Amino acid sequence: MPDERIYPLTFEPQLRDYIWGGRNLERLYGRRLPPGPVAESWEVSAHPEAPTRVLHGHWQGCTLPEVHAALGPALVEERALGDFCGGRFPLLVKLLDAEQDLSVQVHPDDDYACQHEQGDTGKVECWYILHARPSVELIYGLAPGVDREGFVRAIHEGRVPETLARLPVRAGDCVFVPAGTLHAITAGTVLVEIQQNSDATYRVYDWDRVGHDGRPRALHIEQALDVINWAGGAPGVVQPQLLGEGDGVRRARLVACPQFHLEQLDLAAGAVYQGACTSETFEVWGCLQGEVELAWAGAPLHLASIGFALLPAALGRFELRAQGPARLLRAFLGVGDQRR
């Protein structure tokens, strides 16, 4: 009999109503939303500001931090317990619906955050684009030739938009955002964000708008200038690296960085992906298109788009069986990724 405490976890999303949100999670994906704009849906979260609660099984009603505290390495893995500025659960998975442009912002790395953010981590992230209006361009890095001195001058003169680089994207693109990259998700974009478990964000420019209280939202110019990568060279749209193909399963690497790895899997109808969580790392799986059945030693779990599940590090062997053509994301810590 499997340990009743160790099983694939699904969560009740935590919704955030920032001013730039919309209704596309309802319109495009059938999500049931409360009235008003919804900017973010935190799908797998141990962040103290909005932890997600388990929907079923032994841990039903418990928050992810509570599960983490009880299971320790059986949930994550030994190395993660001491890393990431205090041993908190390392990743955060969100859906974002940008009906308006987000603020132009930048995130710190781990060293800066640990010194200045009272134990929070840095924030490396990546975006998988689910939906984009025609001709959408994200703000991504600085325009060629813009240095610190020129950027500071543009801030004082109200010319920040002209200093920013733009990156065209479309559905199916993945964009890696290292710490220190100036960026803004722009209107008409819906995406999955996989990131470090952090909310450390420094706003530089907010399009001269006001928040819910009628006042301009706070900017963090000094901190942003400290952490912006002035050398430039933001990597752009990810070029997937094929890891394997056969029996209806195509697996490609999207991101491999010290904070996390991200893969894309495409399954033909009826195809089966065989995996195992063998205490090296947990895995977060997201079904983006189609439907899959996640079979393991216990009762199988049905995962449909857009849905996410957390597989504990001690889960053991599992299979993902495609009901029809399906696309999935797999996020995990950067250990043991060559074994399959």
Domain residue ranges of the chain, discontinuous segments joined by +: 11-227, 241-332
- pLDDT category at 32 given cuts 50, 70, 90 is very high
What pLDDT, in 10s, does the model give residues 267-301?
A: 999 999 999 998 889 999 999 999 999 999 999 99
The answer on pLDDT for 78 being more than 60 is yes
The mean predicted confidence, pLDDT, of the chain is 93
Class for the domain spanning 11-227 = mainly beta
- The DSSP H or E segment spanning 301 is strand 301-304
Helix (H, G, I), strand (E, B) or coil at 8: coil
Task: Give the count of beta carbons closer than 10 Å to the beta carbon of residue 131.
Answer: 16
What pLDDT, in 10s, does the model give residues 236-269?
A: 899 999 999 999 999 999 999 999 999 999 999 9
Alpha helix ranges (H) inside 12-170: 24-29, 64-71, 78-82, 110-116, 148-157
User: Catalytic annotation on 209?
Assistant: no
- Would you tell me which CATH number, out of the four given (3.40.1260.10, 2.40.128.20, 2.60.120.10, 3.40.50.920), belongs to the domain 241-332? 2.60.120.10
Per-residue pLDDT, 119: 73
Same fold, 11-227 and 241-332: yes
What proportion of the chain, given as a percentage, has pLDDT over 70? 95
Give the residues across from 330 on adjacent strands.
263, 285
Give the residues across from 132 on adjacent strands.
189
What pLDDT, in 10s, does the model give residues 137-161?
A: 999 999 999 999 999 999 999 999 9
Looking at residue 159, the DSSP 8-state letter turns out to be -
- Burial class, 189, CB count within 10 angstroms (exposed 0-12 / middle 13-18 / buried 19+): buried
Q: What distance in Å separates the CA atoms of residue 76 and residue 81, rounded to the nearest whole number?
A: 7
In the set 27, 31, 203, 215, the catalytic residue is 203
Quote the tokens at residue 108. 């710190």
137-142: strand order across its sheet: 164-168, 137-142, 183-184, 104-106, 202-205
Per-residue pLDDT, 274: 97
Helix (H, G, I), strand (E, B) or coil at 163: helix
